[in-house]
Amino acid sequence: MIVSAGWPAFRKRLVLHNHRQGDAPPLAQGGWLLDTPGMRELQLSKAAEGISEVFDDFILAAQQCRFSDCAHGSEPGCAVRAAIAEGTLPLSRFDRWQKLASEDGVIHARRTKRPR
């Protein structure tokens, strides 16, 4: 329910929502609600650690690939693609793993290019 209290409340809401400090209250069913007014993007620090924990099944499968630099595309001997074809690993999780790893790589590249 939204209650309008006139201009002072509206102005206060504008001031409160034009800052760059985020809020992350925990949800009863798990996780957090991220309220980041004015933010265009959210970058995670130490994302590689979280990615390796959440997608450890893909990382273990990737260690079985024929080539150590396998991109898990159309390379011969890709254990990840074989596991997806067998139904052992879901394609939807593979797509999320690749997307997160790619985003983490871009963020890492940006951080290393910044002059100090």
Residue 36 confidence class, pLDDT cut points 50, 70, 90 = low
- Shared domain for 103 and 82, answered yes or no, is yes
The CA-atom distances, in angstroms, between 63 and each of 29, 108, 111 are: 35, 23, 28
Same structural domain, 57 and 108: yes
State whether 20 and 60 are in the same domain: no
Using only the alpha carbons of the chain, give its radius of gyration.
21
Dihedral through CA 79, CA 81, CA 86, CA 91, nearest 10?
130
Domain range enclosing 110:
43-116
Give yes or no: residues 65 and 103 share one domain: yes
Considering only residues 13 and 1, tell me which one the structure prediction assigns the higher pLDDT: 13
> Same domain for 69 and 114?
yes
Q: Give per-residue pLDDT as tens, 51-70.
A: 888 899 999 999 999 999 99
Rounded to 5 degrees, φ, ψ at 29 are -90, 5
Structural domain tally of the chain?
A: 2
* Same domain, residue pair 102 and 80: yes
pLDDT of 8 above 80: no
| CATH number of the domain bearing residue 60 | 1.10.40.50
Instruction: Return the pLDDT at 1.
Output: 39
State the pTM of this model.
0.56
Q: Between 2 and 42, where is the model more confident?
A: 42
